[in-house]
């Protein structure tokens, strides 16, 4: 790795601008060509078709054999085949708790640690790419791919659902329906909230990615801690303390699928998630700025 005087000399060279190093376009193309990106996209795109086949084989959801233990909890599975909008909402419902956690942890946890594991991180910094610029480029691209993964699922579900079940209003499990003109904006709101709620996982994965040279450690650590949060939220003895857990609000987006839109739960959930995420991102930038890069 170049010495500090050499890096300073490069930084003072004519035409050098720190903001032009590691452009977002270049980083995005690097990540897009990676096998794990294509594999994750394929899994998310395949999920709606797998559910359609499952419904075709198993019959209409919400029958006598499928209604165990739910109590009064809203279950979108009961109306999954009523329309394309219902099917898209169901795909989000079954995947928001865990499946959508994986691409967020993967894209954010693998981004810096993989460079270290390939022994290319020090060469990027010797280019010279400022550390803050490197982290910023990688974080923006990772969050962009995470959002794209969450948009891909309902888009494919809407298309597949329209072909399988037709287009129509979003039928609500509690009775009533949302007009067809309102379904897409409401589903967009759901995706936006799911993305914001997953910022905690993104922050955990990104912070761990700056602390380790093992990508699987960063990804697995973020997924594991997210699961721990879900387990703690299930401990009712914690009472009101659960409201400080991001997992407690992960299904608050169900309020967007009501005739009268409710913002209370989503606003609280978003505030909790953004607060944790900002702290974790700050820790990542602070720690990486002082880290001795040897790989």
Higher pLDDT, 75 or 286: 286
User: For residue range 144-200, what is the model confidence (pLDDT) as tens digits?
Assistant: 999 999 999 999 999 999 998 988 888 887 777 888 788 889 899 999 999 999 999
What does the chain come to in residues? 295
For residue 96, what pLDDT is reported? 84
Distance from C-alpha of 239 to C-alpha of 65, rounded to nearest angstrom: 33
154 alpha-carbon distance from chain centroid? 13
User: For residue range 112-156, what is the model confidence (pLDDT) as tens digits?
Assistant: 888 877 777 776 766 677 788 888 999 999 999 999 999 999 999
Give yes or no for a contact between 251 and 269, defined as CB atoms under 8 angstroms apart.
Answer: no
pLDDT at residue 103 above 80? yes
Share of the chain above pLDDT 90, in %: 39
Of the candidate ranges 29-33, 57-61, 88-92, 260-264, the one whose mean pLDDT is the lowest:
57-61
Higher pLDDT, 248 or 9: 248
Count Cβ atoms below 10 Å from residue 228 Cβ, excluding itself: 12
The DSSP 8-state label assigned to residue 88 in this structure reads: H
Closest among 143, 124, 133 to 31, alpha carbons compared: 143
Phi then psi for residue 170, to 5 deg, are -85, 110
Question: Is the C-alpha dihedral spanning 279, 285, 287, 290 positive or negative?
Answer: negative
Label residue 20 by pLDDT band (50, 70, 90): low
pLDDT at residue 74 above 60? no
For residue 281, what pLDDT is reported? 96
Report whether the peptide linkage leading into residue 231 is cis, meaning its omega lies within 30 degrees of zero: no
Phi then psi for residue 16, to 5 deg, are -80, 130
**Local structure of 20: helix, strand or coil:** helix
Compute the average pLDDT of residues 84-103: 89
**Local structure of 170: helix, strand or coil:** strand
For residue 21, what pLDDT is reported? 66
Higher pLDDT, 123 or 280: 280
For residue 70, what pLDDT is reported? 37
For residue 126, what pLDDT is reported? 65
Of the candidate ranges 5-9, 155-159, 227-231, 234-238, the one whose mean pLDDT is the lowest:
5-9
User: For residue range 31-56, what is the model confidence (pLDDT) as tens digits?
Assistant: 888 888 999 999 999 999 999 999 88
Q: List Cβ<8 Å contacts ≥24 apart for 142-145.
A: 142/31, 142/107, 142/108, 142/111, 142/202, 142/206, 143/107, 143/108, 143/202, 144/28, 145/28, 145/31, 145/32, 145/37, 145/103, 145/107
Distance from C-alpha of 176 to C-alpha of 174, rounded to nearest angstrom: 7
Label residue 66 by pLDDT band (50, 70, 90): very low
Please classify residue 191 by burial: count the beta carbons closer than 10 Å to its beta carbon, then call 0-12 exposed, 13-18 middle and 19+ buried: buried
- Alpha-carbon distance values, 254 to 89, 200, 216 (Å): 9, 20, 32
Compute the average pLDDT of residues 252-272: 88
């Amino acid at each position: 790795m170049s010495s500090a005087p050499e890096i300073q000399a490069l930084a003072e060279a004519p035409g050098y601008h720190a903001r032009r190093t590691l452009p977002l376009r270049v980083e995005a193309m690097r990540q897009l060509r990676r096998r794990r990106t294509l594999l994750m996209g394929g899994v998310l795109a395949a999920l709606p078709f797998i559910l359609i086949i499952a419904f075709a084989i198993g019959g209409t959801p919400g029958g006598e054999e499928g209604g165990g233990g739910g109590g009064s909890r809203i279950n979108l599975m009961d109306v999954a085949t009523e329309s394309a909008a219902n099917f898209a909402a169901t795909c989000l419902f079954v995947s928001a708790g865990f499946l959508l956690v994986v691409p967020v942890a993967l894209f954010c946890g693998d981004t810096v640690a993989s460079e270290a594991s390939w022994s290319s991180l020090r060469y990027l910094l010797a280019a010279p790419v400022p550390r803050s610029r490197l982290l910023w480029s990688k974080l923006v691209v990772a969050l962009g791919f995470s959002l794209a993964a969450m948009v891909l699922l309902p888009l494919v579900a809407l298309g597949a659902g329209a072909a399988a079940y037709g287009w129509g209003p979003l039928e609500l499990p509690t009775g009533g329906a949302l007009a067809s003109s309102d379904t897409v904006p409401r589903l967009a709101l759901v995706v936006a909230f799911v993305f914001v709620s997953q910022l905690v996982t993104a922050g955990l994965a990104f912070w761990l990615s700056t602390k380790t040279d093992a990508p699987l450690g960063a990804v697995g650590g973020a997924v594991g801690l997210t699961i721990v949060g879900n387990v703690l939220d299930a401990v009712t003895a914690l009472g009101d303390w659960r409201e400080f857990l991001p997992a407690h609000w992960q299904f608050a987006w169900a309020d967007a699928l009501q005739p009268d839109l409710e913002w209370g739960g989503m606003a609280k959930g978003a505030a909790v998630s953004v607060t944790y995420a900002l702290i974790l991102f700050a820790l990542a930038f602070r720690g990486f700025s002082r880290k001795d890069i040897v790989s």
